[in-house]
Each structure stands twice: as structure tokens, then as C-alpha cells.
Amino acid sequence: MKKTLVAALFLAGLPAVSPGQVVRPPELPPPLVDTLKQPTGELLRQTEQLQQQLAEQRLREQLAALATLPDPLQLPAVQDILTLSGEPLWREVEVEQGFRAIEREWLLLLTADEWQALQQRWPELAGYLQRQQPLPALQLTLVTLKVPAALDSASALAQQFSAELLRYSGRNHLYQPQQQASTAAPQAASQSKASMCDWPVSLGMVDTDINTELPALAVQSGHFNLVARRFLPEQLAASYAHGTAVASLLAARDPAITPLLPQLTLYSAAAFYASNAVQQSASLEHLLTALDWLASQPLQVINLSLTGPDNPVLALLIQQLQARGLSLVAAAGNGGPAATPLYPAAYPGVIAVTAVAPDMTPYRWANQGDYIDFAAVGVRVAALTANGQVQPQSGTSLAAPVVSAAVACWRAAQPQLTHQQVYQLLMQQARDLGEPGKDPVTGHGVIEPPLETQL
């Protein structure tokens, strides 16, 4: 028994004792003695301070780990786009001013006779030919060239051929939608309290595919009719997020969404694909073919919730559409107040739309500038996701359809109106914010449903 007790004391770190020996408690280290002597409140304070330090240390470690992960909003400088079976379709690359394009692809937009004349003047152009396709509605030809790396710039092309070639040509740039999903709770989403108008309306848009399997966007006679066409390779996976959100603002039948156009025929041209899990892109080539198709449809208004760089080919096509009397409404961009103008919104005659919050404060990421025409609520807007959930979403992409709906209502009610006349009516409808008159933040003011008509 004595040996067992001695062994137990040894293992416990206490001295062995003999029977009858008086045992004194061990002396505690001075710091621990001081701590025990402190008031309870001071102990709690030190404990909380230690917990905070540990939490801050864990946060620093988590942030350091996150910093090593790729940013989903920052695409790599070079990226291959693959088919469903893993075969490469084309390569995205970063080009001038940080924009993106299809690697070494240049587009020419001209008549068939002009293309024939260019080939006779410079026979080597035929060696760079990738594709040649007619744009029948606009009576133009779209030519896609794949140039050598040594000619992959405007200055190199001008030197090799002449500056005259640049009148027809531009990079096969990539354009992106202007929408951001909100992290706010679903109940924080706002919705329009009224439709823009209640009469039958036709509207075109270039966007991603639309998930028509959702009950809220099912075709229904007298309410929603969809005429859709896809302008992407069949072997490329479809992308649904952005187009579904925009279409839901226009026509969804959901308790959380008041449709802007409850009697809508929507002509949807799908030209966007997924660059990664969160970003969509559309090449200029696909945008041009999509817009040519829309130009052949019975509509007067096209919504363009997308932005990108200035491009001579895009500018020429926009002019051709405007010459046909079409009204083009485009998102101003989510580049921030100091960002340079984005296109097509910044082209003359295109209605550039920025976003404001429901309390009429400007969207913090919206572009600003003299080219801004109007604003609409585009912050924390209730819209459908690709899987049918209603979530708050933000961006000038969500504001543009509001103004497109207003323009479409006017042009449906009075088809004889010109684009310029409709623009004047929008100015009368707009709710001016800030100093009187047009400004670079909200343009002429905010467009809100319902449409105030004098019919």
C-alpha cells in the first residue's frame, strides 16, 4: 500500500510522505498567485482579451489562406474555352487596356463587294480567313480573320496593309453582363410596385439562355411568349443565370416579382457563355450575328445589359441598327464612378442606363459620365436565379430593362414615334435627382413604373 501511494504521488508530481508526516501544500508560481488574487472582473477582462486575440489570429490565418485562392472575378490572362467533351473551342486572352478578346481574331464588317475588293488589293488576307458569314438583315458580311502574332495589333495591321483597313476591322473583343448577385438576405430584395404598362409589347434582348423550365417563365398565351435563338456552338455548355434574371424582371409570374411587361413577346438572342463559374462572356462575333437576327424580327427596342470596349466594328453595327429606327438601351456598366466609358452604352444615340437603390441613392459601382442618359432601380432587385429562386441582385444590368420596358411601351402604344421622340417622352417621365437638369450620375433622372402616358 505504501509503495502504491508513493508511486501515485510520484506520477502526480508531488513528494512522497511518510506516515504521520505533515504535508504542506505546494507553493504556487508567483504569476499564478497574482492572478488568483485579482478581482473576478479583471479575470473576465483578461479572458475576453485573450479570446479576442485568438479570434484575430484565426481570422488572419483564414485571410492568408483565402489570398492564395484564385479570384473568381479575375480571369486569367490566357484561358481556353472547352466543349462539353473537353475539346478547345477558342482561347481568351487579355489585350489592350485590360479588356479581353479571342486570341488573334479580328473582324471585318463590310459589304460583299468591299470584301472582294480588299482581297484583290491584298491577296494575303485570304490566307488569314477563318469564317465568312452573311448578316442578311443588315445586308453586310462578317469576316473573321486569324492573324499571325506579328500582326496582332491595330498599328501592325495598318503598317502591313493601310489605315483604310481599320475602318472595317476590330478585335473579336469579349463583352460581359453587368450584374452582381447580392449577399443580402432574400427578404431585403425590392420589387417594383407596378408594371410599366399593360398592353401587348414586343422587346428584343441579347443575353445568356433563359431557363424556360421555370414555372414563372413558362410560355403562356396572352402573358408571355418567347422567341429564342442561340448563337453559340452546340457543343458549348449553355449559361442561364443572367438572361433568366433579366427575363424575370420583364415577365416573370411570381409572387415576389411584379413583371414590367405582363403581356410580352420577348425575342431572346443567346450569345453569352460561361468563362468560369461566376462570369459570362460574349464574343463580338456572336453579338453581331445575334443583333442581325434581332434586326429581322418585328420589334423596335433591344435591351443590351452588357458592356465592353469601344470597337469600330461594333460602332458600325450600332449605326446600322439605328438607321433602321431601332431603339437601343444599354447598361452603363459596373466599373465604378472613376471608370472610363463602356460600350455600347457610350455610343451616340444609345440610351445609357445607370442604377440607383430603392432610396434613390446611386449604385456605388455604377459608371458615371456625360453619356449617362437615365437611371432606374437596379440595387437589391428581386430577380430569379437560374434554378428558380428569387434573390436580390444588383447592377446596371438590372436597371436597363426598366428603361427598355418604358421605351417598348411607348413604341407599342404609338408606333409612329421616332427614337428621338420617345427619348423626349422619357425626359418628361424621368424623376430628376440632385441639381436640376442632366448630370453625369443619373442623367436626366430615374425612370419608374408605371408609365405616365398622355394617350
Question: What residues are labeled active site?
Answer: 207, 242, 397
- CA distances, 196 to each of 38, 190, 204, 300, 366 (Å): 70, 16, 16, 17, 23
Phi/psi at 273 (5° precision): -125, 170
Rounded CA-CA distance 217/226 in Å is 9
At position 115, the amino acid (one-letter code) is: W
- DSSP-based three-state secondary structure for 377: strand
Positive or negative CA dihedral for 393, 189, 250, 444? negative
Mode of pairing for the β-strands spanning 180-181 and 390-394: antiparallel
Helices (H), ranges, 68-206: 112-121, 154-160
Count CB neighbours of 103 within 10 A. 18
| Cβ-defined contacts of 291-295 (< 8 Å, 24+) | 291/206, 291/317, 291/321, 292/135, 292/136, 292/137, 292/138, 292/140, 292/317, 293/137, 293/229, 293/231, 293/269, 294/204, 294/206, 294/267, 294/269, 295/137, 295/138, 295/320, 295/321, 295/324, 295/326
| Neighbouring residues of 274: CB distance < 8 A, sequence distance ≥ 6 | 237, 239, 280
- DSSP-based three-state secondary structure for 10: helix
Angle between helices 396-413 and 241-251 (to 10 degrees): 40
Q: How many CA atoms lie within 13 A of 312 on its CB side?
A: 15
Rounded CA-CA distance 304/283 in Å is 14
Q: How many CA atoms lie within 13 A of 67 on its CB side?
A: 6
Q: Is the peptide bond before 344 cis (omega within 30 degrees of 0)?
A: yes
Cell numbers found for residue 199: 398592353
* 146 contacts 171 by C-beta, under 8 angstroms: no
* 201 contacts 195 by C-beta, under 8 angstroms: no
